[in-house]
Amino acid sequence: MLFPFSHDGRALSVFALDPTANPNFLALFLVPIAAFTLAQLTDLQKQQFILWPALLLNFIAIVLSRSRGGILGLTLGILFVLLTRFKKNLWGRVGIVVIVMLVVTGIYRSLPNLAATPNSGRIASSNNIRYEIWKTTREMLASPKPIFVGFGLGNYQQTFTEFTKDRVNYPEFIAPEALTPHNLVLALWANGGLLMVMSFIWLIVVAFKKRGGLAAQSALIALLGHGLVDTPYFKNDLSVLFWIIIVLIMISGKYDTA
């Protein structure tokens, strides 16, 4: 099958080969690629027939993965393209308004429901688990040493599990899901401390001072948008994809000296 599915009906595609994978892995990989492809198609001089079916397949896979973080990231990537290239166009303005409304609605629907139970469904459960992981990670990072150096690469879940072993429901329901902090900034902080966070921010600022790399920048926006609710870096394929995007930005334009 083109899109092998998980037990709850979400697309896995090639990630079905990994028994520990979940459908979010598929969205994490495809969202920046979809944003890049869409931005390329907005340049009439670069339109190619092969890009349309590639974009369609990407969209289908992302939707079937049912990754709300992936859809958020892709939406923000599209919004970046509209703001950059079509903000003076009537339909571009309409698109911007529609997308902003969709983003606000999505954020509202993603707020944790603290009254939810384990039987409240996947979305309520996912929202609440992420909320608890974010809250606990901030507590873990509050000590002086973790603030500056983090917990070390690959030590997050072990540290999280040990930190929460005496808390109600954490060992059974939350710690097993805390493979990462489910947020890019928290993941950088937990793995490498403040220096890693500041270095990453500097790199992003440098990347967006470039002019002429719209497609790669839209891919980066999509990746960062997805990073609000997931960790689109600390995994081999995602790290390679991130650095490919950065290199494409660096070689595709001039710096804005204004």
pLDDT tens sequence across 2-17: 557 777 778 887 777 7
| Residue range of the domain that includes 73 | 13-110+209-255
Cβ atoms of 29 and 238 closer than 8 Å: yes
φ, ψ (nearest 5 deg) of residue 233:
-140, -50
Find residue 5's DSSP bridge partners. Answer: 11
In a domain, 83, yes or no: yes
Count of CB atoms within 10 A of residue 63's CB? 14
pLDDT tens sequence across 137-178: 999 999 878 888 999 999 999 999 999 999 988 999 899 999
What pTM did the predictor assign? 0.85
Confidence (pLDDT) at 132: 92
Return the H-helix or E-strand segment holding 58.
Answer: helix 51-65
Residue 230 has what DSSP assignment? S
Q: How many domains does the chain divide into?
A: 1
In a domain, 152, yes or no: no
In a domain, 74, yes or no: yes
In a domain, 158, yes or no: no
Cβ atoms of 228 and 186 closer than 8 Å: no
The CA-atom distances, in angstroms, between 196 and each of 45, 85, 148 are 39, 32, 9
In a domain, 244, yes or no: yes
What are 245's two structure tokens? 């995007």
What are 178's two structure tokens? 């805390």
In a domain, 191, yes or no: no
The secondary structure of 2-36 as a DSSP string is: -S-B-TTS-B-GGGGGSTT--HHHHHHHHHHHHHH
pLDDT tens sequence across 173-208: 899 999 999 999 999 999 999 999 999 999 999 999
In a domain, 197, yes or no: no
In a domain, 62, yes or no: yes
Q: Apex CA 34: angle with CA 29 and CA 35, to 5°?
A: 110
